[in-house]
Amino acid sequence: MTQTTDGAAVADAPPPARSTGPRIHRAWIVAAVTFVTIIGGAAFNSLPGLLIDPLHTEFGWSRGEIGLAVSVDMALYGLTAPFAAALMDRFGIRRVVVAALCAVAAGALASVWMTASWQLMLYWGLLVGLGTGSMAMAFSATVTNRWFVARRGLVTGILTAAGASGQLVFLPLCAWIVDRHGWRPASVTVALAALVVVPFVLILMRDHPADVGLAPYGGTFVEKPAPATGAATRALRVLLDAARTGPFWLLAGSFAICGASTNGLVRTHFVPAAHDHGMAITAAASLLAVIGVFDVIGTVFSGWLTDRFDARRLLAVYYALRGVSLLLLPMLMAPAVHPPMVLFIVFYGLDWVATVPPTLALCRERYGDDSAIVFGWVLASHQVGAALVAFLSGVARDATGSYDLVWYASGALCATAALMVLMIRRGRGAEPAPAAG
């Protein structure tokens, strides 16, 4: 107690309350778990390019047949994403992701006993496609939208780089296993990688900041919304609404070309294409893994740039430079690794998925609360493009004995994508739908 000048007693002011909040915001822990989960789920993406030649040799399946199974996986990877985002709103992130990891593990393990090409399509295409699709970039978008207000571009870049990090970890390992022990132990390794991540998701992942009484990072506290019912209906409704706007088709078309020139072509066919020129499979796989190293750097840096510059212009630059590099690639193929090829690998790695943060930023700018599902549909177009080129590249190789035509065609498509993104008008909110009649 203290006394005022007139002798009245007043209570002392309480000392300032000490902050009891966590030193590290829980959002960063959730982001870290998401990063590890994507790495575990992406382990399978290291396999297809390594197994085309072994499966062709053991079973006599054509590269077109194997490429078709890979294309089914890639198509489902994309088409599952918007429904997975809606399912996460309905059942929670943890349940959906755990189910997805188990599906990947089941598909990878079952492939060990396959004897026919239809089984390859069932295990690789259906099971793994559904599983990896549920942990696709729409998963990253959902986590980012719920847990972050500040640093969204940076976090998007980091989570996008997780897939490349998985490639960096698993490509050399799986290439070594395939070379020394055959393709079956490599498939088992991928299954185990998916299962190892499950406990981390169950223990550390949370669906919403309100679950732990926190505000999103950089934002204010909001109540957790009620579970959204009708996940499939909502995903389709969002698609129909977005499809009535011009930016959606420009984003979907350009991102389809992105998928065609990365997952469909380079990830699936770079190793067998290099092997055609006399390069050892382990050496070609190591080069593809190096792409993953620079992919991490390029994607995180692209996220930083997206927070500061016009996303349309960033995308135009990325696509244009990618197209030039693909046009030059046929001249760089050789039996041994040489400096020009290393330069291509470094450059292509920096550009690989640098397109994701600005594409997601444009979806968020145009479509607001529905942006994660809209991005899921844009990602579906990415994977449809990848699926078509994964299949057609194998057919072209069977027909012509070379991948050169595919490299040139993809370079031209990238130039088209650069023009498409520049046509997207700036502005907030989805464009109004055209009037009926």
Contact present, 208 and 228 (Cβ < 8 Å): no
DSSP for 32-76, please give it: HHHHHHHHHHHGGGGSHHHHHHHHHHHH---HHHHHHHHHHHHHH
In angstroms, the CA 180 to CA 186 distance is: 10
- Lowest mean pLDDT: which of 29-33, 78-82, 122-126, 173-177? 78-82
Measured between alpha carbons, how far is 262 from 382 in angstroms, rounded to an integer? 10
Sign of the dihedral defined by the CA atoms of residues 405, 345, 320, 75, in that order: positive
**What pLDDT does 48 receive?**
74
End-to-end CA distance of the chain: 78
Q: CB–CB of 396/333 below 8 Å?
A: no
137-147 and 26-42 helices cross at what angle (nearest 10)?
A: 180
pLDDT at 437 over 60: no
- With 80 as the cut, is the pLDDT of residue 164 above it? no
Dig out the tokens for 38 from the structure: 């994507």
Give the contacts of 137 (CB within 8 A, at least 6 positions apart): 81, 160, 356, 360, 375, 376, 379
Residue for token digits 């994508």? 417
Q: Nearest-CA neighbor of 143 among 221, 222, 207?
A: 207
* Tens digits of residue pLDDT in 46-68: 677 778 778 888 888 887 788 78
pTM attached to this predicted model:
0.67
Question: Is the pLDDT at 175 greater than 90, yes or no?
Answer: no
Sign of the dihedral defined by the CA atoms of residues 277, 282, 285, 291, in that order: negative
Does residue 93 carry a pLDDT above 80? yes
295: confidence class by pLDDT, cuts 50, 70, 90: confident
Is residue 285 within 8 A of residue 269, CB to CB? The reply is no
Average pLDDT over residues 285-308: 81
Are 63 and 397 a contacting pair, CB within 8 Å? Answer: yes
**In the predicted model, what is the mean pLDDT of residues 265-279?**
85
Burial class (CB in 10 A: 0-12, 13-18, 19+), 259: buried
| Mean pLDDT computed over every residue of the chain | 81
Residue-wise pLDDT tens digits, 185-194 = 988 988 888 8
pLDDT at residue number 251 = 93
Q: What percent of the chain has pLDDT over 90?
A: 11
